[in-house]
């Protein structure tokens, strides 16, 4: 596979996964009492990341606890996504 086809396939996979996301915010701590400081909600109570394109790597929760933001697609691939995450049912 040439690099252009590979990049196109990667982009399609990214969009496919993002389209199944329920925007529940659970992977960012929305229900844990100390969510990521970059987690936001819109008017219909769906969550989004304030820095999505630059999210990966060290981040802080609202209380200041440091953690690593990781790709949820990869977590799902290896069985580490939350049980109720929609990514678990998306084709890798
Ligand atoms: S930085 Fe990561 S953990 Fe924080 S809101 Fe964005 S995606 Fe979620
Ligand atoms: S837990 Fe899964 S479905 Fe919910 S916001 Fe995170 S990636 Fe999307």
Whole-angstrom CA distances from 25 to 8, 30, 36, 47, 82 are 27, 5, 10, 5, 11
pTM over 0.85: yes
pLDDT in tens, the chain (92 residues): 788 888 898 888 888 888 899 999 999 999 999 999 999 999 898 999 999 999 999 999 999 999 999 999 999 999 999 999 999 988 76
Q: How far is the CA of 26 from the centre of ligand 2 (A)?
A: 6
Among protein residues, the one with the nearest Cα to ligand 1's atom 8 is 28
Determine the atom of ligand 2 nearest the C-alpha atom of 26. 1
Q: What is the 7 CA–ligand 1 centroid distance (Å)?
A: 24
Residue nearest to atom 8 of ligand 2 (CA): 21
Any ligand 1 atom below 6 A from CB of 28: yes
- Give dist(CA 82, CA 92) in Å, integer: 16
């Amino acid at each position: 596979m040439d690099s252009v086809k590979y990049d196109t396939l990667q982009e399609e996979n990214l969009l496919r996964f993002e389209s199944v996301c329920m925007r529940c915010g659970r992977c960012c701590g929305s229900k844990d009492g100390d969510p990521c400081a970059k987690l936001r909600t819109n008017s219909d109570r769906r969550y989004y990341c304030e820095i999505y394109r630059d999210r990966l790597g060290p981040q802080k929760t609202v209380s200041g606890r440091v953690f690593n933001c990781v790709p949820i697609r990869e977590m799902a691939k290896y069985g580490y996504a939350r049980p109720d995450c929609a990514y678990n049912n998306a084709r890798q």
